[in-house]
Amino acid sequence: MAMTMHVDVVSAEEEIFSGPATMLFAPGVMGDLGIFPRHAPLLTRIKPGEVRIQTPDSEEEQVIYVSGGMLEIQPAAVTILADTATRAHDIDEAAALEAKERAEKTLKDQKDDVDYAAATAELAEAMAQIQAVQRLKKKLGQ
């Protein structure tokens, strides 16, 4: 039997995933992280992107979009406290594409009252959602 670790992915709204995992991938702010059981302890921020969880009882990965938050790694447990979290199959691709276009338009407009930090964050979040949906579609052969 493969070694496992306990993984919890929670947001302010709900618990998205809780269970054993053989490996987890997460979008750290300093780069992507691949986490196996017995990983060295670590506390880091995560950026918008997808968290992929490999479970021992299924060949299919759990794919969860996170908009940012914190990641805590202990040798036998990983906890992700996400600002918002959504399973990839629940993301509205049309809304994500619309948000991407809106953010790009805002960044192109050279107005003084534009909040570039907010527009850049919205663009990064929309791109991460679109990427999560596209990767899921590719896995499903759509």
Instruction: List, in order, residues 6 or more apart from 112 with CB less than 8 Å away.
Output: none
**Domain span including residue 16:** 5-87
Q: What is the reported pTM?
A: 0.70
| Residues 51 and 18 occupy one common structural domain | yes
**H or E segment and range at residue 120:** helix 116-140
| Residues 78 and 99 occupy one common structural domain | no
More confident residue, 37 or 118: 37
Q: How many domains does the chain have?
A: 2
| Residues 41 and 111 occupy one common structural domain | no
d(CA 11, CA 34): 21
At 121, which CATH number?
Answer: 1.20.5.440
| Residues 109 and 71 occupy one common structural domain | no
Per-residue model confidence as pLDDT tens digits over 75-93: 999 999 998 888 866 666 6
